[in-house]
Amino acid sequence: MIATPRQLEIYDYIAAFVERNCQAPTIGEICAHFGLRSTGTVHQALLALERGGLIRRKPNISRGIEIIAPKPDEGFAEDEIPLMGIVAAGRPVEAVLSYETVWVPRDMKLSKDAFALRVRGDSMIDQHISDGDLIIVESRETAENGQTVVALLDGTEATVKRFYNKGDHVRLEAANTLYAPMIVRPAERLKVQGIVVGVIRRMGK
């Protein structure tokens, strides 16, 4: 098994907790230890550890995690980046900050200030960005015409669109014919936050 840094941190915490207390921690205790507001990150890590043969989970038991194999010595296949919140693929939505993380393939070779956002809306579906997807963003303050950007409008509203700088205004184009272009005038109302470089989609979508 090749595990991520956060998965191994959770494994180490569970193993130490069991050694101290002779029982496994609850999901809530794991979240509290790592400062996570959502249980989703923990459930994802536990599923990966279980599939890798390191732990076993007993259903419907709050402390039903069992260590069944030692931690692997192999390297990491993925990097961890912050999940910063929600971005609109449609009308802009108020920027909402989050404090979770996601794992991305290390071969993406992302910069240290890359981050992820969860997409809300369907305005970018022709670019294979759907409602509920995670987009991977390289943090930048400028963009070239035609690039897909995450932008902040009037300092509060976040959106993902194709970017075109027209000098006195900016045109933001959707990748869905149901949406008309957004014209932002003056151009200074809009601030580029980053360039979209990847998409993570849940299986079955």
Active site residue 161: yes
Listed in sequence order, the residues at least 6 apart from 160 whose beta carbon sits closer than 8 Å to its beta carbon are 87, 88, 89, 117, 119, 124, 129, 135, 148, 149, 150, 151, 196
Active site residue 62: no
Active-site choice (130, 139, 161, 191): 161
What is the distance between the alpha carbons of residues 173 and 123, in angstroms, rounded to a whole number? 9
What is the distance between the alpha carbons of residues 175 and 187, in angstroms, rounded to a whole number? 21
Helices (H) and strands (E) in the chain, counts: 3, 12
The residue among 170, 169, 188 whose CA lies nearest residue 161 is 170
Active-site choice (123, 139, 191, 205): 123
**Burial (0-12, 13-18, 19+ Cβ within 10 Å), 168:** exposed
**Burial (0-12, 13-18, 19+ Cβ within 10 Å), 6:** buried
What positions carry a catalytic annotation?
123, 161
